[in-house]
């Protein structure tokens, strides 16, 4: 199957046929992941959102300032909030 790249606002997109979406069990509301690999764009359905997200953030160094409990607080939480 071939398709053309289409202008969508400031971006571009492609139309995936109903047959392809049905074959892959993809619904319009589903989240998809795009991967660029060896000059190709791979599209796959995300079946488990945020799978391994903590490990990926730690690997990227994004969580290096937080403890292992992953608690986030601010001044309001510490000084003004009462339980």
Per cent of the chain over pLDDT 90 is: 37
Does 7 have pLDDT greater than 90?
yes
Q: Identify the DSSP state of 62.
A: T
CA distances from residue 60 to 39, 53, 55, 64 in whole angstroms, order as listed: 24, 11, 9, 9
Compute the average pLDDT of residues 14-34: 91
Contact 32, 44 (CB under 8 A): yes
pTM over 0.85: no
What integer pLDDT is reported at residue 76 of this predicted model? 75
Query: Where do we find the tokens 């509301």?
Result: 29
Question: For the chain, what is the radius of gyration of the CA atoms?
Answer: 20
Please name the CATH architecture into which domain 6-80 falls.
Ribbon (2.10)
Does 22 have pLDDT greater than 80?
yes
1 versus 71: the higher-pLDDT residue is 1
Per domain, the residue ranges of the chain are: 6-80
Residue 74: pLDDT band with limits 50, 70, 90:
confident
Task: Determine the Cα–Cα distance for residues 27 and 38; give it in Å rounded to an integer.
Answer: 27
Task: Determine the Cα–Cα distance for residues 48 and 51; give it in Å rounded to an integer.
Answer: 6
């Amino acid at each position: 199957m071939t398709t053309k790249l289409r202008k969508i606002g400031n971006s571009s997109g492609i139309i995936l046929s109903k047959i392809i979406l049905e074959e892959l069990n993809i619904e319009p509301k589903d989240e998809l992941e795009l991967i660029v690999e060896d000059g190709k764009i791979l599209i796959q359905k995300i079946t488990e959102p945020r799978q391994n997200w903590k490990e990926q953030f730690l690997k990227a160094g994004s969580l290096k300032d937080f403890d292992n409990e992953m608690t986030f607080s601010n001044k309001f939480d510490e000084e003004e909030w009462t339980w």
